[in-house]
Amino acid sequence: MSHEDRMIFCFYRSIKIIKMNQVLTLLKPRIWPLRNRGLSKTNGKGGARLLLLGSFGLLFWCGIFAVSWRVLVYFKSIEDIGDILGYKLLSMMLVVSFALLLFSSILTSLSRLYLSRDLLLVHSMPVSSYKIFITRWIDSTIESAWMVIIYTLPVLISYGIVYQTGIFYYFNIMISMLCLAAIASAISTLMVMTAVIIIPASRMKSVFIFMGILSFVVIYLAIRLSQPELLVDPEVFDTVMVYISSLQTPSSPFLPSSWVYDGIRSALSGSISSSLFFTALSLSFTGMIVFALVLLSDAIYFKGFSKTQNAPARLFKNNVVGDRIFNFLPGPIKSFTVKEIKTFLRDQTQWTQIFLIAALIVIYVYNFKVLPLEKSPIKTVYLQNLFSFLNMGLALFVLTAVTARFAYPAVSMEREAFWLVKASPLSIRAFLWIKFFIYYFPLLILTEVLIVATNLLLQVTPFMMALSTLTVFFIVPGIVAIGIGLGAAYPDFKAENPTQTITSFGGLVFMIVCAGYIGLVVILEAGPVYNLFVAGIRNKIISLSAWIWIVGSFTLVLILSVLAIFLPMRFGERRLSKLPT
């Protein structure tokens, strides 16, 4: 190499280093808060919260590993089709993981690339737009994929232990999952950038509606492609061989999850050369789509960002929230109620979550429709009402998830304008109760519809129908009050979107308290409900002691429900009142 060639090589290398340093510099604001948060908590509270969060996360991780290991050991004990079932389960898991990564990446990339509040500052810097894009894409990829990858690893590790693989397998799953996350993020970002360019900025809310419909389609296709009913209903096939061949039917070769599955399966069976081929296929496609993504971003990203800065058009042209509806309320309470409803309707981030929740509810109800109750060795009447009682607890957990998304962040969504609430003639107590009633009625209707619909599909007895609807009626206000109260006790007024508040320490406390509350109610009602149900079916007379037990249990549930409403609200009121204006 001549001296001139060396000089040119050093010049281009220095240019690449400078460009990479600029990208790393733009990423530092995301890294520094994590480091400084631990250094600034000199009182030890930050370390205690981190330890608590880490302990629960590790416990959940170990639980997934234990369940996965136990299921795989059971599959291995089944002759002839044990390995086939294990591989089919692996394929289903990877398809669903890819769908989750796609959906999470759509929301995260849309937020990071177009809706973050610091984008105006970042774009005013002397940095090329494609470097800003690369930084934001890396940030959104990590944020959308880290949880899916971490909680998929225990399942994959259990496969390695049960199938007694070598070190190559564990190296392969790390590379494969990183490729899957990068591919999902790149595909989602391409769709987001295209949608923002195609749809006018004045109809930005239509982007979210489009993303919600697309997410529903992705989830539905993931479930259909995995064909989960084949694992539990072999009777639909004429012969065992047809059943086995159906289990062995491969998924679409054009899905990136299929390449990852083929690579992992080859590593499990000891075929290193075949595993390297499929891993190389995933790596090459990852490089190609990321390269195309960067090229496209250089052409259209800044144009799309400029469009999003225009004033968005209102989804509801007329005054949907009429002031006359709330004329019976005092002036300040009426004003805050109307403001809260209008803010909810104008918040674009709410609509994407509504579509996701609607998709999950449809799938939830559909699962009860296809339950093969008639094939169970247990009498159908017992099984139907048992599922109805357990479904009550499941529906309340669904309610908890929806409350965590909408009601818990309600106080934090006031952001920097919270000082207006403190300065207004409205008390903090009235402010919290307004939040409570705005979310209480929609969530009550949602949960009751969920319970009634699934009970009708299960064809339960009138007693179980009445019991489940009444229990939900008394439990819903408690869960909503816990969400509003703990959201007021642990607010995060600097959060850019509601999802950031859910993953905080207060969000973890909310989930733990709600889980304990629901579990305690189910335990208190289980015994009395069984006695009443059996007595009704067998025409038995309930003894006096049993009646005392039944009345006492339901009375405790009622008292617990009342306490769940008022104690969290008072706790949140006291904590929120102490915050400086």
Whole-number Å distance between alpha carbons of 214 and 103: 9
Same domain, 413 and 282: no
Structure tokens at 525: 């009602």
Which H or E run includes 458?
helix 428-458
Phi, psi of 372, rounded to the nearest 5 degrees: -85, 65
For the segment 33-58, the average pLDDT, to the nearest whole number, is: 64
Whole-number Å distance between alpha carbons of 189 and 481: 37
Closest CA to 501 of 489, 492, 488: 492
In this prediction, residue 197 carries a pLDDT of 76
Mean pLDDT of the chain: 76
pLDDT for residue 245 is more than 90: no
3-state secondary structure 533-577: HHHHHHCCCCCHHHHHHHHHHHHHHHHHHHHHHHHHHHHHHHHHH
Same domain, 454 and 394: yes
Phi, psi of 44, rounded to the nearest 5 degrees: 90, -10
In this prediction, residue 173 carries a pLDDT of 92
pLDDT for residue 441 is more than 70: yes
Domain boundary among the residues 310, 339, 371 is at: 310
Domain boundary among the residues 282, 310, 338 is at: 310
Same domain, 365 and 280: no
Asked if residue 44 belongs to a domain, the reply is no
Structure tokens at 389: 């009682």
Same domain, 303 and 337: no
Asked if residue 9 belongs to a domain, the reply is no
In this prediction, residue 178 carries a pLDDT of 93
pLDDT for residue 183 is more than 90: yes
In this prediction, residue 247 carries a pLDDT of 45
Q: Which amino acid is at 499?
A: T
Model confidence pLDDT, tens digit, residues 102-161: 877 877 887 788 877 777 787 777 777 778 888 888 888 888 888 888 989 999 999 999
Number of independent structural domains in the chain: 2
In this prediction, residue 226 carries a pLDDT of 52
Asked if residue 102 belongs to a domain, the reply is yes
Same domain, 121 and 210: yes
Which pTM was predicted? 0.63
Q: Give the burial class of 285: count Cβ atoms within 10 A of its Cβ; 0-12 exposed, 13-18 middle, 19 or more buried.
A: middle
In this prediction, residue 277 carries a pLDDT of 92
Which residues, 6+ apart, have CB-to-CB distance to 50 below 8 Å? 38
In this prediction, residue 17 carries a pLDDT of 43
3-state secondary structure 97-130: HHHHHHHHHHHHHHHHHHHCCCHHHHHCCCCCHH
pLDDT for residue 241 is more than 70: no
Closest CA to 110 of 36, 16, 211: 211
Contact 486, 506 (CB under 8 A): yes
Domain boundary among the residues 310, 342, 366 is at: 310
Half-sphere exposure of 296 (CA within 13 A, CB side): 17
Grade residue 246 by pLDDT with cuts at 50, 70 and 90: very low
Model confidence pLDDT, tens digit, residues 463-495: 888 888 999 999 999 999 999 999 888 888 777
For the segment 347-372, the average pLDDT, to the nearest whole number, is: 64
Helix (H, G, I), strand (E, B) or coil at 251: coil
For the segment 530-548, the average pLDDT, to the nearest whole number, is: 77
Same domain, 402 and 428: yes
In this prediction, residue 386 carries a pLDDT of 72
For the segment 344-368, the average pLDDT, to the nearest whole number, is: 65
Asked if residue 240 belongs to a domain, the reply is yes
Same domain, 331 and 297: no
Whole-number Å distance between alpha carbons of 411 and 492: 8
In this prediction, residue 186 carries a pLDDT of 92
pLDDT for residue 202 is more than 70: no
Structure tokens at 49: 């919260």
Which residue in this structure is represented by tokens 């990858």? 149
Phi, psi of 139, rounded to the nearest 5 degrees: -60, -45
Asked if residue 185 belongs to a domain, the reply is yes
Same domain, 305 and 335: no
Radius of gyration of the CA atoms of the chain, in A: 27
In this prediction, residue 369 carries a pLDDT of 65
The length of the chain in residues reads: 581
Same domain, 298 and 354: no
For the segment 312-341, the average pLDDT, to the nearest whole number, is: 64
Which residues, 6+ apart, have CB-to-CB distance to 342 below 8 Å? 321
User: Degrees (nearest 5) of the Cα angle 502, 506, 512?
Assistant: 90
Model confidence pLDDT, tens digit, residues 262-303: 999 999 888 889 999 999 999 999 999 998 888 888 888 888
121-150 exposure pattern, b = at least 16 Cβ within 10 A, e = fewer = eeeeeebebbbbbbbbbbbbbebbbeebbe
Asked if residue 68 belongs to a domain, the reply is yes
Contact 421, 488 (CB under 8 A): no
Q: Which residue did the predictor score with more confidence, 352 or 25? A: 25
In this prediction, residue 289 carries a pLDDT of 92
For the segment 508-526, the average pLDDT, to the nearest whole number, is: 88
Grade residue 174 by pLDDT with cuts at 50, 70 and 90: very high
Same domain, 290 and 377: no
From its phi and psi, is residue 347 left (phi > 0), alpha (psi between -120 and 50) or beta?
beta
Q: Note down the domain range covering 167.
A: 63-310
Asked if residue 76 belongs to a domain, the reply is yes
Name the percent of the chain lying above pLDDT 90. 15
pLDDT for residue 566 is more than 90: yes
In this prediction, residue 522 carries a pLDDT of 86
Structure tokens at 14: 């220095």
pLDDT for residue 344 is more than 80: no
Same domain, 382 and 528: yes
Asked if residue 270 belongs to a domain, the reply is yes
pLDDT for residue 346 is more than 70: no
In this prediction, residue 159 carries a pLDDT of 92
Whole-number Å distance between alpha carbons of 165 and 270: 7
pLDDT for residue 406 is more than 60: yes
Same domain, 439 and 557: yes
Q: Which long-range contacts (CB under 8 A, 24 or more apart) does 230-238 make?
A: 230/88, 231/85, 231/88, 231/89, 232/372, 233/372, 235/375
Cα torsion 208, 214, 216, 218 to 10°: value is -140
What sign does the dihedral 469-470-475-480 (CA atoms) show? positive
Grade residue 9 by pLDDT with cuts at 50, 70 and 90: very low
Model confidence pLDDT, tens digit, residues 330-343: 767 777 777 777 77
Contact 566, 429 (CB under 8 A): no
Contact 390, 368 (CB under 8 A): no
In this prediction, residue 33 carries a pLDDT of 64
